[in-house]
Structure 1
């Protein structure tokens, strides 16, 4: 009887629309949407005459929602025709009989910005993982569908086999059915057409995924560093193929909790813990948290930095210790190789300008593959090894950057930066880039402060802002005395290297 009553509550409504129980809701801007509460709740709490009022929290104060042509209250529904970004916030519905007020239900509404270049927003989808050889159906939406509504299905933003039903049925799934499916419902209202979408990422696997054990990536480790140097310790936990609601990750310093970072570097304590972040790479879920150490001290070398991962009543720990740095190179330099620009200025920057100033003037030791690696050795193994021996990975970035070898260097470096946290990445924007879509999406997870921009002749002087910013991101190193002022003898064109018309093929992402 309890189950039957619960089902009646979920599906009961005066207008026939589905009214699911949900406290936090994500919706895309520009779409039709509604909030609703269950009629049975009202009848259970109140009898006799009453009024219904909808409220939105504004700076901690409840404000009555005034109806308009866009926001309409219809019995136990609050409809948005359509919902806008400014509608995000906390909502509640209150019943009053003149003597007392009762809050029937509360919601948190998060309106997401629409992706102008795609039919869906990657932050507004659900993932369904199924096995090949089984049957399955994708459901369009919680919205009810009437004869006046039309439905269109898309796979990876392309019309999918003229499918127009509320459910998309697959008798036998294959790996080729994997993709991102978007259902679009057109709704007619007062002479205008509105729409609502629902997006599902379908992952079809040949075999069932093996049993996943909660684990911390990398486990115990020692990080090579120097006194006075900034260090950012990372702990990343692998959660499996779904995101547990109770997953938590936090740091301890000698079994004591560190202070929280304020987000303002000038006021942050010498050691502080950042907010926990959740990541999805492919169909795998991770949680990660950073511990910032402004300047390493002798005392820090004796600390145990412990990261604890807890989820599903299980606990994993990772102990990190600091030790003096013994890496061979200050930086590995990654630049365009296989697809060379007509004037080869980018290559010249990597092989001549960068080492001339960083090595000869500032005493750094760079690893430049074309210059330092003997011919005939295994390229893939060497790249991985030399990046591992380097304190930094410098990427000289341009529209032509991606090539077979360069993409491997980038993927390897991103893995070490984002997952292993063994190497810090420095991006040198060699020429202005307006569209970063040719780069792996995970590159956007890197801090923006690790990007320096080359401005041709303006950046050439050793005392320019470019070299100051670059040295700030490099390991601490005393400058040599024989500093030269300018390098006009280098063949640098006034316009800089121009991208090749055909570009370079992009062969993969992290």
Structure 2
């Protein structure tokens, strides 16, 4: 007896376990990944044909084009599988269609998707309610809000079913009155455009979709409770960047701000992101700040006119692969997705900088050249004369016999002794003995017994320059003035400036007013060569050389100036440009 009871007990437990397994198999819960209850509800009233889509996003679970799968629907009220043979119910693809819904169909339905190795499930809710007698308002409705004083839109909740049915057509209603395309409303399938929204545009809107499925017609509808708020935001605008090309150096760091302006009032629901186009594929740039290229957190600030959103793109080390890529900033919003972009190019030579350096160098060289020519004018002129004598005309054939006439005051009281020594000894030794000039010195080159006036007149006519030597005592006395006036030719040369005159000042003149009027005017006009003056051009001036130099033995600089003012002894021949 006990043994027989044990057999019946084991048989009962096995039968119970099989029933449980069958029930689990019926609900598809034996090894399925459960995604719970879907957030969205399907609302219907008796007589409509609602379509309950499988809430599972299959394309995110696996690749439906490469993986075999099947979809099964279960009624959670009794755990039974729904088949095509049941009345008023049809299975179309992944959807469960109620042909003529009634209050008895309200409930939760589970969609199970199976592959060869995996199983997924998620539940959806169908709500069926009677309409209130004597009104066209549906018992359930969604909520949407639009902004005043701008153009705004309402979205039909049935838009998610457009791809699941054939020949869909949507009709919009406001407070049970059908809406047509006019200046105020513009229905566009699942979107209702409302122009220049006013506060009185609030109310109850309904979108009704008629369709066919498998040759059977059906309809379903959803209602929207629309409210209007006076705070509004306009379309976002990307201010920076705007199709820019930026030059950067390889290896340098780089930062670029994306600046988006959202005019108006309210709460902006705009996301600013950076992306880059690489080989025809767009990739969003990472927000990981440890990467070489990343985007920082978005900064939002409120202004009087609206909002300014800024997100910074940072490149810590610009490399070769960054050049010529399109970095794009995108403002994501329900009112549009404006973009702005820029590209990086390697920084080449700065032409303006090079031009500036070139012009600066030319200007510097010009200034240096002017200074050198000013300071070393005499030395440069003598150097050119020595190296390039063919650049100058020869003095042969100009009708002159002497290069210079040497004049100095000759008075009886001995005041011109220094000038006479310089004229008779020093000048001939240097200018004639060393440099080969021809000088006419009165008292040395004149014929004995000739009148002084006649000698001076004739000699001046045969000389190319007049060198007037004087000291502080020799030319500042009444006797010297009388001497100069007695020599008619000399006086005429001084007063009329009929030939080139060089003044050689052997002593410092402390009272210039005592000089003859003609000499004073000439000195004021062209200056005088001062044999007594020492020019200290360099810091390493040797005082021993200064002590050795006297007015009778001037410095080398004085002699260079004298040679500079004397005629150029060129070798170039005059050419007759009209002869062949």
Normalized against structure 2, the TM-score is what? 0.28
Q: Whose Rg is larger?
A: 2
Normalized against structure 1, the TM-score is what? 0.32
